[in-house]
């Protein structure tokens, strides 16, 4: 898709209040756990975006009942676990959570479940997880390639037990095994060996949600997570707003010297986007959280930052764009794994920021960005929602930024373009 979208530029510093759609990561975990639970449950205020609709479709194709309840915005999702006794085909799209979280539970189905996705999805890492699944007793047919397309031949039960995995490419390998593990005969005891696991808050999110479902999880040792076998209790989840998708909206305050408030910010959360409070403070913003309202007041000039983003890699594109608008150098480190995200985000950011005049050095595990004069032009997005966020952030301070394929934001945010235009220009959506 080559459509070019003129990124809106505010005329004055903004003063806005923004409400965001739900979290992708929380919604897709809630759906998986509801589908393998011991009774019906409700996922309240779910995110309805490409990634979560693909997850719902995957679980429905296995046999799960997922219905819209009456209510605003399409209502909630009522999830009814049912027998998984058929063959199915799962479209992973470009959703890491679908490609990683569904195969371990598909091992519990009686049937062959095929997996494929977008062209780039065939390049995203999953091989280590498929090997671990095979070690746990799941029959995986991937022709030894360790990538999409592959099939899980479920026999209805999985032995489980202890497994060793290198999860340095993605925390989702660990989350995926833990989410299914309670339903395996011997539970699952996952031990990581290799370079450090990225995105640890997302594993904490998995562990916390499993405990909410009454599942016993031992995470007392580093790099080891043990899930006890047993039932997964049915629990209703209320989904928090997506704090990583708050990044461009908070950047709107940060980059314009304006003020943006995001509503319903949780007081405590496992979402990595909560780190934005500290990161934006380091960049010179005033940040306050009062009664669930997170307000960012941007400074006259943004400061550069030196940050290890290993735990919060998905924030890198938005932060890199802000760094390109800062008046001192930045170093973003520890994110080699984001080369395996929706696109190689390090190369993509270096290329696209550089195309608009930024002074960027690409390193194996991150980017260095020095102040320089930026200019308009086309910002390519590589089918990556967060690259589109980076493009619109640059467009806040630079005339004539054209963002390619703004619709790619639908991966995690329904009608982002309207929400963004409204936030930048004012008025109601
Ligand atoms: O479990 C999750 O919901 C996620 C984990 C992280 O993946 P990686 O560990 O592959 O970075 C994150 O980047 C992704 O957006 C969502
Ligand atoms: C890495 C991301 O997504 P996924 O869940 O597809 O891995 C992301 O949303 O930044």
Is the complex ipTM higher than 0.95?
yes
124 is in an annotated binding site: yes
Whether the per-residue pLDDT at 110 is higher than 60: the answer is yes
Whether 405 has a pLDDT exceeding 70, the answer reads yes
Chain Cα centroid distance, residue 80:
25
386 has pLDDT over 70: yes
Q: Are 49 and 410 in contact (CB under 8 A)?
A: yes
Quote the percentage of the chain above a pLDDT of 70: 99
Residue 369: is it exposed, middle or buried by C-beta count within 10 angstroms (0-12/13-18/19+)? buried
Task: Calculate how far, in angstroms, residue 296's C-alpha sits from the geometric centre of ligand 1.
Answer: 25
Give φ, ψ of 86 to 5 degrees. -145, 165
Question: Is-same-fold flag (4-21+240-425; 24-235)?
Answer: yes
Please name the residue ranges forming H helices in 172-315: 172-181, 200-212, 246-256, 276-282
pLDDT of residue 71: 83
Instruction: Report which ligand 2 atom has the smallest distance to the Cα of 96.
Output: 6
Cβ–ligand 2 contact at 96 (below 6 Å): yes
Distance 162 CA to ligand 2 centre (A): 27
Residue 377 · residue 416 · CB < 8 Å: no
Residues 104/173, Cβ–Cβ less than 8 Å: no
Structure token digits, residue 188? 């699952």
Contact 412, 49 (CB under 8 A): yes
Kindly list the catalytic residues: 314
So what's the pLDDT on residue 428? 63
pTM over cut 0.95: yes
- The residue nearest atom 1 of ligand 2, judged by CA position, is 341
For residue 275, the model assigns a pLDDT of 98
Q: Tens digits of per-residue pLDDT, 306-326?
A: 999 999 999 999 999 999 999
pLDDT of 274 > 60? The answer is: yes
Write down the pLDDT at residue 137: 98
Element (H, E) at 191: strand 188-192
> What average pLDDT does the segment 180-192 reach?
98
155 is in an annotated binding site: no
Ligand 2: residue of 22, 96, 386 to mutate (most ligand atoms within 8 A of CB) is 96
Model pLDDT for residues 120-153, shown as the tens digit of each residue: 999 999 999 999 999 999 999 998 899 999 999 9
pLDDT of residue 2: 72
170 is in an annotated binding site: yes
Name the residue ranges covered by the structural domains of the chain: 4-21+240-425, 24-235
397, pLDDT greater than 70: yes
Query: Class of the 4-21+240-425 domain?
Result: alpha beta
Going by pLDDT thresholds of 50, 70 and 90, the confidence category of residue 73 is: confident
| Strand pairing class (401-404; 377-379) | parallel
Q: What is the mean pLDDT of residues 165-177?
A: 98
Report which protein residue has its CA nearest ligand 1's atom 16.
25
Q: Known binder of ligand: residue 199? A: yes
CB-based contacts of 92: which residues, under 8 Å, 6+ apart? 54, 58, 98, 99, 102, 115, 116, 117, 118, 121, 148
Q: Is the dihedral of CA 139, 143, 146, 149 positive or negative?
A: negative
Residue 268 has what pLDDT? 97
The single residue listed with the structure tokens 């076998």 is: 229
pLDDT at 72: 80
Strands, E assignment, 120-211 = 139-141, 150-155, 161-165, 188-192
From 96, 315, 342, mutation site for ligand 1 pocket: most ligand atoms within 8 A of C-beta? 96
Phi, psi of 156 (to 5 degrees): 100, -25
Is the pLDDT at 1 greater than 70? The verdict is no
Q: What integer is the mean pLDDT of 260-273?
A: 98
Q: Which residue has tokens 């929602």? A: 385
The CA 95 to ligand 1 mean position distance, Å, reads 10
With 60 as the cut, is the pLDDT of residue 429 above it? Answer: no
- 419-428 pLDDT, tens digit each: 999 999 997 6
User: Average pLDDT in the 375-390 region?
Assistant: 98
Mean pLDDT of the region 19-23:
98
Q: What fold, for 24-235? A: UDP-n-acetylglucosamine1-carboxyvinyl-transferase; Chain (3.65.10)
User: Whose alpha carbon is nearest atom 7 of ligand 2?
Assistant: 96
């Amino acid at each position: 898709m080559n459509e070019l979208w003129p990124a809106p530029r505010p005329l004055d510093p903004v003063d806005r209040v923004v409400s965001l759609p739900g979290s992708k990561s929380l919604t897709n975990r809630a759906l998986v756990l509801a589908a393998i639970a011991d009774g019906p449950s409700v996922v309240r205020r779910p995110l309805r975006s490409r990634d979560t609709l693909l997850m719902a479709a995957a679980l429905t194709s296995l046999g799960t009942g997922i219905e819209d309840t009456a209510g605003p915005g399409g209502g909630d999702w009522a999830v009814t676990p049912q027998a998984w006794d058929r063959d199915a085909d799962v479209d992973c799209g470009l959703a890491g959570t679908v490609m990683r979280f569904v195969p371990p539970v598909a091992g519990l189905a009686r049937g062959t479940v095929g997996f494929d996705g977008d062209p780039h999805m065939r390049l995203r890492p999953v091989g280590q997880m498929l090997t671990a699944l095979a070690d746990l007793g799941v029959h995986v047919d991937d022709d030894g390639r360790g990538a999409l397309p592959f099939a899980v031949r479920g026999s209805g039960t999985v032995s489980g037990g202890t497994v060793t995995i290198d999860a340095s490419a993605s925390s989702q390998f660990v989350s995926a095994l833990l989410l299914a593990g309670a339903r395996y005969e011997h539970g699952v005891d996952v031990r990581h060996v290799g370079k450090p696991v990225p995105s640890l808050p997302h594993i904490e999110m998995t562990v916390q949600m499993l405990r909410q479902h009454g599942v016993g999880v031992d995470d007392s040792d580093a790099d080891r997570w043990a899930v006890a076998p047993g039932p997964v209790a049915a629990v209703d989840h209320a989904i928090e707003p997506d704090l990583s998708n708050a990044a461009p909206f908070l950047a709107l305050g940060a980059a314009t010297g304006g003020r943006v408030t995001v509503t319903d910010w949780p007081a405590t959360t496992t979402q990595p986007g909560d780190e934005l409070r500290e990161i934006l403070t380091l960049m010179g913003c005033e940040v306050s959280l009062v009664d669930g309202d997170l307000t960012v007041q941007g400074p006259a000039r943004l400061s550069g930052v030196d940050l290890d983003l290993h735990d919060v890699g998905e924030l890198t594109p938005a932060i890199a764009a802000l760094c390109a608008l800062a008046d001192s150098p930045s170093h973003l480190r520890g994110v080699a794994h984001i080369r395996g995200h929706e696109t190689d985000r390090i190369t993509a950011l270096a290329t696209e920021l550089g195309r608009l005049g930024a002074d960027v050095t690409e390193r194996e595990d991150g980017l260095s960005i020095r102040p320089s004069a930026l200019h308009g032009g086309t910002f390519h997005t590589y089918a990556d929602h967060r690259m589109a966020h980076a493009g619109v952030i640059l467009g806040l301070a630079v005339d004539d930024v054209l963002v390619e394929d703004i619709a790619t934001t639908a991966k995690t945010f329904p009608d982002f373009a309207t929400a963004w235009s409204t936030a930048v220009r004012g008025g109601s959506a």
